[in-house]
Amino acid sequence: MAIFSTHLLNSIDGTHASDVEIVIYKVNNNNKVVFLEDKTDSSGRMLKEFELTKEDCESDYEMIINSGKYFRNTSEIINSISVKFKMKDSEKKYHIPLIISPNGYSIWWSK
């Protein structure tokens, strides 16, 4: 069973970014299909467990974070964050934390 998780931190005030809409798309040959949709919890986290097929492990993924809605559209430039990644191992935990603000973000890969 694979696990995907993310943790969003608000860089403006240091709080957890809760209730942020997240959509993860599975991308094959420029065709995007919703893989999962959820919101971060009160601690700014989202965690999902799922089975990955061989095809899933060969696919690309794109996570869209609706940061504009979270920051109440305080930025006229950035309204969402896109993170592209792969999940090549069906038994691995994939954790992608981000520090977000209305004007930018910082991301790192966590093992």
Closest by CA position to 102, among listed 25, 4, 20, 46: 20
Residue pLDDT, tens place only, 18-69: 999 999 999 998 899 999 999 999 999 999 999 999 999 999 999 999 998 8
pLDDT score for 73:
62
Both tokens of 2, joined, read: 């694979």
Given this model, what pLDDT does residue 55 score? 94
Q: How confident is the model at residue 75 (pLDDT cuts 50, 70, 90)?
A: low
Q: How many domains are contained in the chain? A: 1
pLDDT tens, position by position, 76-87? 678 899 999 999
**Domain holding 51: CATH number?**
2.60.40.180
What range defines the domain where residue 69 resides?
2-107
More confident residue, 111 or 98: 98
Q: What is the 3-state composition of the chain as percent helix, strand, coil, each rounded to the nearest 5?
A: 10, 55, 40
Tell me the whole-structure pTM to 2 decimals.
Answer: 0.92
